[in-house]
Structure 1
Amino acid sequence: MELSLGTPAMLFPAIALLLLAYTNRFLALAGLIRSLKTQYVESPNPNLIGQIQNIRKRIMQVRNMQACGIMAFLLCVVSMWLVYISQELLAEYIFGFSLFLLMMSLYISFREIQISVHALEIELSDLEELMKGK
């Protein structure tokens, strides 16, 4: 395989957009945490504790997604630099590892979405119970 400067550079926009999406998820979760804290202070509810624990898992997932994405971005830059200084073989290995980290980031994102969907299913079942009670 021959690696040129353009190959790792093609990932820059994709990784940048992923990091932006991950940051938006993080900010949404941070807002939700603040809202749940306010609700709990006003009216302690054991259901909120479960939600907060779920969000804690999701925050850790987003942190890991961001870490893998940032490392993938950094290694893309390193591989470009290695191509520039004519270290093609090392550049190929570093680029391959950056692709692996990008795949890990996407997998963690997939898992975080599954956790989020599960939390929403619990909320919907609670809502259905309230609707049946009325």
Structure 2
Amino acid sequence: MTLTTPALLFPAISLLLLAYTNRFLVLAQLIRKLADEERNQHQEANARQILLLRQRISLTKRMQLAGVFSFLLCTLSMFALFLSLELTGMVLFGISLVALSVSLIYSLWEIQISTNALNVQLQDVEAQLRASGKHLGGDA
């Protein structure tokens, strides 16, 4: 294994961490919006959304930690390979790949919860439309 092997992961991990940061910022905006809505009017859907947002924040934190840990281990792997500690570099790189995989699994889990949160929102909108007597086009 050469020094360039772990270096190949640098752009991928960097982009992944950027995507995770964007997710976090979106979550922060959603929470602020939900808090404003809750101050103005209490809605049943907000309680469900709060639970889902709390889960998503926890998963986002975990996936960011695993991604940063993967990035750090990848860097240490390159450093070990630079020092001609090939076995250490390979082990660190292997653990880095495992940490990256864990981060991606957390990401998939968060996407699932995000989809559920959107369904909660859609159910709330549908209930409001039914209450107002408007017709829903069910082409889906």
Extract structure 1 runs of 4+ deviating beyond 4 A.
none
CA contact (8 A) 2:27 2:53 kept: yes
What is the TM-score when the length of structure 2 is the normalising length?
0.90
Instruction: Name the structure 2 match of 1:102.
Output: 100
Instruction: Name the structure 2 match of 1:72.
Output: 70
Instruction: Name the structure 2 match of 1:19.
Output: 17
Identity of aligned residues (%): 46
Seen in structure 2, the aligned counterparts of structure 1 residues 130 and 45 have a Cα distance that, compared at 3 Å, is closer
Gapped regions of structure 2 (runs ≥ 5)? 134-140
Instruction: Name the structure 1 match of 2:137.
Output: none
Q: Deviation at 1:117? A: 0.4
Gapped regions of structure 1 (runs ≥ 5)? none
CA contact (8 A) 2:13 2:71 kept: yes
Instruction: Name the structure 1 match of 2:110.
Output: 112
Deviations 1:57-113 (A, max 9, x none): 000100001000000000000000000111101110110000000011011100000
Instruction: Name the structure 2 match of 1:82.
Output: 80
CA contact (8 A) 2:49 2:120 kept: no
What is the TM-score when the length of structure 1 is the normalising length?
0.94
Secondary structure of the residue that 2:42 maps to in structure 1? Answer: coil
Seen in structure 2, the aligned counterparts of structure 1 residues 125 and 47 have a Cα distance that, compared at 3 Å, is closer
**For the aligned residues, what is the CA RMSD?**
1.0
CA contact (8 A) 2:34 2:46 kept: yes
Instruction: Name the structure 2 match of 1:131.
Output: 129
Secondary structure of the residue that 1:33 maps to in structure 2? Answer: helix
Report the residue type matching 2:79 in the other structure: W
Instruction: Name the structure 1 match of 2:56.
Output: 58
